[in-house]
Every structure is written in C-alpha cells, then in structure tokens.
Amino acid sequence: MVFVNVMPKSTKTGDGREGAPQLPMRRKFLGRIAAVPMFGSMGLSSLSGGSKSRVAEPSPEKIRALLISATTMAGKSSLEHAEEQLKKVYSGKRRILLINFASQPMDRDAYAARMQRDFSRIDERFEVDSLHAYPIEEAGRVLRQAEAVFVSGGNTFLLLRELYDRNIVKLLRDRVFGGMPYAGSSAGSNLAGVDIGTTNDFPLVDVPTRRSLGILPGTFNPHHPEIADTTAYGSRQYKISDHARFHPLKPVVGVNNAGMISIRGNELSLRGIGGFATIQIGAKSTRVEDHTDGNVSRVINQLLQQSTSNPS
C-alpha cells in the first residue's frame, strides 16, 4: 500500500495545547485511488498530486487486526459473537486501550465501564484502559505505550475528528503496521479503511480529511443489510456501486452484522457464523459467505485483475 500523508496542522488552544485544525481549511481534493492487481503487493495511492505525492508505505506483514461489523447481535451479549476471534487477535496481550471517541462525550465513562465488563467476560485477564480518560496532550504517550487497541462504534466522523484533534492518526496507524493488535467494531472498523468514504453515519462534525488508517486496502461498510431483505440490500448496494463508479479501483468490503474481517499481514479472511462480505470494485462485485473458504484477499485480487483488464 502507498499512503499519502495529508495530516493537517493542528492549532494551539488558549492554554497552549494542540487543538483541532481550523475549519474550513485549505484542502487538496483527492483524486481517484488506484491499486495494483495483486493484493500481496497492493498499493492504494492518491493520484491528486501525481507521482510526487506518493509516500513510502511500511510493509503490512505485521498487521494483526479484526474488523467487526456490529458490536452487538440480537439475542447476544455485547461482542459475544466475536469472542473467539478477539481472543485470537489479542493473543498474548493483557491490557487493551479502548478508543471510544465515536460515542457522545457524556456517554464515554459508562461505555468504558461496559467494555471492561465485556472484555473481562471474554477473558478474565483482559484489562481495559480508556483513552478518553486522559488529557488531550497525553494521548500520544498513552498510545505509544499501548499493548493493543479496541476502537468501538458510534459516529465515525466524531471518531476521526477526535483522533485528528489529538494528532494521533498517523501514530495509531504506525503502531498497527508495527504489529500492535487492532480490533474495531462498526465505526472502529470503518476507520480501518483508507478513508471513511463508506460509513453509514451522518457527518456529525467536520473532519479535516476523510483519510483514515489504511489498514484495510479499501473501505469497510459495516451493518450491510441481509440478502433476504431485498429492499435494504439493493439500496445499500446501489450506494456502494455509486461510490465504486467514482473510485473504480478501490475495493469496498460490505459486511453484515454477523460477519467480521480478520487481517493477518496480507491475508484478509471472512469470519463469523452467518457472516458474509460483498466485495465491490468498479462495476464488479462478488459475495463471500461463511460456508466458503472466506478468502477475501483472493476475491479482491480477482476483481482487481478483472477491472484492470476489462474496466467496462
């Protein structure tokens, strides 16, 4: 992958702390995103500034991530459907840094307490420490010391804005590419894409850029409707197809509530009983279901090859 660093410069607040970028800010509008055909060496780059805008990307070989579509399934406890996969991604880790900036500020204390209960149920050794409990200027230090992170759901725009306010988007990304385990649900999974272009959320706040982590070589669409709900499924696919027409070589991975995407280095796999992923690249799409081998990487490769050889 090739990532274009469009990190905005933050401004100083009245007490001298790093604050949010001033909006509206001068922006360089990103052009289409291009990808080479093979996932093993896949590159996703903005072409807005030509070849000069390309920046060397760390290797994804160390990535260990789990992108969960929904935090809670009907009839189950929070994260119950993802317990086994969470144990795998956090294998050998004990302290988990919770990033719950997608939730409303007044709800974050209660959310952190709930996540501590949930993770203690999953494994009694897990301890949750919430980043929201620290002053904004401490965020970088806390993240540098983290063993693993969990980014929870809510409003994706609010989540990304608060990460940029703390100037830790690049740091979080670097830590994940360096091998720190990452798990997210809903907004936290959408954040893992190259941008938040296929979030389902209203823009609750402005963001300096929609660029996000680039852990997933494309964009993640959580809460994809079930196939049996033909109206909702068709409506969502129409929106995703419209996005794909504008970004013809950027994969979109839409995952239903039961599903999740496991990322181990270059390998993307579908997980979750009853889960499915609809992968769209340009005008071409393929659905991967839990009773197949779940090899999302191979499907992305195939669709990219088809799209580059026959773009119509």
91-125 exposure pattern, b = at least 16 Cβ within 10 A, e = fewer = eebeebbbbbbbbeeeebeebbebbbebbeebeee
DSSP-derived letter for residue 42 is -
Q: Would you say the C-alpha torsion 98, 272, 304, 228 has a positive or negative sign?
A: negative
Burial class of residue 30 (count of CB atoms within 10 Å of its CB; 0-12, 13-18, 19+): buried
Nearest to 55 by CA among 16, 3, 110, 118: 3
Is-catalytic flag, 123? no
Residue of 118, 165, 195, 201 marked active site = 201
Is-catalytic flag, 229? no
Q: Residues in the chain, how many?
A: 312
Instruction: Give how far Cα 60 sits from Cα of 37, 106, 163, 169, 299, Å.
Output: 16, 36, 22, 17, 18
Angle 192-195-199 from CA coordinates, rounded to 5°: 80
Helix axes 156-165, 169-177, angle to 10 degrees: 100
Residue of 46, 186, 189, 262 marked active site = 186
Residue of 48, 123, 223, 285 marked active site = 223
**Which residues lie below 8 Å from residue 292, measured CB to CB, with a gap of 6+?**
270
Cα 183 to the center of its chain, rounded Å: 9
Is-catalytic flag, 223? yes
Q: Would you name the residues annotated as active-site residues?
A: 186, 201, 223
